Amino acid sequence: MPAEPRKPRIIALINHLTFDGHPSKLTLTLNEILPRYEQQADIQIVETSVDKLLATAKSIEREQRADILICSGASAEFLRKKISTTILSFRMGEYDLIRAINLAKERGTKAGILTHQRTLKELEEMSSLFTVEVSQAIYTSLQDAREKVRTFVDQGYRVIIGSPTVVELAEAAGAEGVFAINADAVRLTLDDALAICHSRAAEAQKHRRIHAVLKNLNEGVIALDATGTVFSVNNSMNTLLQPDQPISIGDRATERFPDIDIKGVLTTGTSIESHLSSRGSQRLAISVLPIMEEGQIDGAILTCQEIREIQRAERRLRSQSRPSHFIARYHFEQLTGEEHTFQQAVHLAKLYAHSNSTVLITGESGTGKELFAQSIHNASNRQQMPFVAINCAAFPETLLESELFGYDEGAFTGSRKGGKPGLFEAAHNGTIFLDEIGDMPIHLQTRLLRVLQERQVLRLGGSEPTPINIRVIAATHRDLQKEIANNQFREDLFYRLNILRISVPPLRQRTSDIPPLTKLLTKNLAGGNIDREQAANEILNTLMPRLMNHKWSGNIRELENLIERAFLMSQFPDESQPLEALFPELFSVPTEHHSTLNAPKESLHNFGKAAEITLIQETLDAHDGDMAKTAKALGISRSTLWRRLRQPHVKTQN
């Protein structure tokens, strides 16, 4: 079992003008408080005289008896210049100050407050509230304190407030001394001392863990002090270099690495990153980073890696899965549709996948522009690299700018420490998809144009651009040439984007693709459950004439929504509702020429003869041969239904 951690050791060092063995008031206060700290720390009280204060403190330090010393203000200030042990001064108690002022009021006298080196500003601000005269003074030495006390007494101050030393001086001068360090102030000081000890313990534990990590790193690591002398070296360094004489603590780094400007790092603080060096048959990458302490160079860290190992690590990283939001999931095989204009768009996209030129995809919202972009990426030579998509209309201008271009530390209030790379940098070697590019603010269009021209990106607040290798695919539902005419889109950016162009047709122009799309989407929703798939298809087959003639303002996305609704309702046959209530958008009377009721012949004609005959037969069977219900379900008149029934291969029920 690990050893129980040692409790913090704290010594309260209390001095007297002359120590006669009697405890001071501060000692008595401490003795009342210390029992409650027994489990937290080892706290001792050491009393001495002023003339023996330094010798006593040095003895404590030499014997390593304390982690922290606590003294009154003047003593603490004096000892900090003489010893290295951490020293805290007792806080002054506000309650005792007020008590002393009340005492002065009772005595009918003035109150003097004598503090070490600084006055109490809070008392100055409250002086107008006091009913007695209160005066503050500061002292810098014992002799100065003795003179200030005498001055107070000569001026008629009969109550003097201060540290234990001031109290002794006041009483020696014939005044009443009031101790300004009460129990609460002592507790706060002890709590501060414990907090410092715990913080140090945590820091020491962290250092031990870091040392344990460094020992097991594969790369070689050497820690140097400010003179360039080795004070720590891990085993990997000697294993990697295999020198005739192992590198050890106390060695001069400049002698071990004569080709590395270590002195320059320790003098200027400028780091050396991945300096190529040869050691026999090995090629190494050596880096030297300065260690800064309070703005001063306090040493350096030298790391060493074999070039071949770096290359292997890079290949492993590239072969690993990319973040889920930087992956393109769709391929051309998933783009369903046989309509000519759609197939033409797919053919162009496949052709453009072999190029690195910018692609502009146009089409209404919901037509699947991002599916085309992902398919192009997955068919290109960048398919193993990131696919980064961002909707330019979904972010406010300030946020979009930082998302796209990134920012350096301190670029704006709340910026992340160390800065953040933008999506252009994240897409390096891959593809960035700028959806709804027509909604990008003019200000950002200018920055985007520069990125497309220079192939480098400048972070917000940055001064050095970062080169990038990306393929840009943009998409928009807007007419960019109209936007140019309205001064809402830069003409030069349009021609930078409009190199390879694909126009994705809306769903209403590819109605012959609705049946296969419906079946595919239903199958995907069913997830292999045949019964659910069939139940949903029964509803959708009934709705098919109306699906074929709907205006589809939302295109594929709207079709997905309707299919999901039908799939959900098919799972609750006992809760069946009229189709008009479930799909009101399909049963509302449209004003466009696509209306089924206004053009019944056209609606079935588009559906195709074979599918038309099958649909009529299934709908007729579903309604037990009822002509009126069948006509209503199909969205056509009874006379049109009779004409269709006269066609061969259509059977009516007797």
Predicted TM-score (pTM) of the model is 0.46
Percent of the chain with pLDDT over 70: 80
- 218-313 has the same fold as 94-180: no
The structural domains of the chain, with segments of one domain joined by +, span 9-91+187-197, 94-180, 218-313, 325-505, 540-645
Beta strands in 430-509 (DSSP E): 431-435, 456-457, 466-467, 471-476, 500-503
The pLDDT score that the predictor gives to residue 152 is: 87
From 159, 103, 117, select the one nearest 135 (Cα to Cα): 159
End-to-end CA distance of the chain: 92
Residue for token pair 């990283």: 317
The pLDDT score that the predictor gives to residue 543 is: 87
432 vs 426: CA distance, rounded Å: 9
**What is the dotted CATH code of the domain comprising 218-313?**
3.30.450.20
User: Which of the four CATH numbers 3.40.50.10660, 3.40.50.2030, 3.60.21.10, 3.40.640.10 does domain 94-180 have?
Assistant: 3.40.50.10660
Q: Are strands 176-179 and 157-162 parallel, antiparallel or unpaired?
A: parallel
Backbone angles phi, psi at 88, to 5 degrees: -110, 150
Q: Is 552 exposed, middle or buried (0-12, 13-18, 19+ CB in 10 A)?
A: buried
Reported as a single tens digit per residue, the pLDDT across 293-302 is 778 888 898 9
Tokens linked to 442: 């003019």
Q: Is 110 exposed, middle or buried (0-12, 13-18, 19+ CB in 10 A)?
A: middle
352 vs 423: CA distance, rounded Å: 23
| Least trusted range by pLDDT, from 126-135, 229-238, 423-432, 567-576 | 126-135
C-alpha dist (Å) from residue 380 to 386, 387, 397, 434, 600: 12, 11, 31, 18, 45
- CATH fold, domain 325-505, is Rossmann fold (3.40.50)
Which residues pair with residue 387 across a beta bridge? 431
The pLDDT score that the predictor gives to residue 351 is: 93
9-91+187-197 maps to CATH 3.90.1640.30: no
- 559 versus 216: the higher-pLDDT residue is 559
Reported as a single tens digit per residue, the pLDDT across 76-120 is 878 888 888 888 887 665 555 666 677 667 776 778 888 776 666
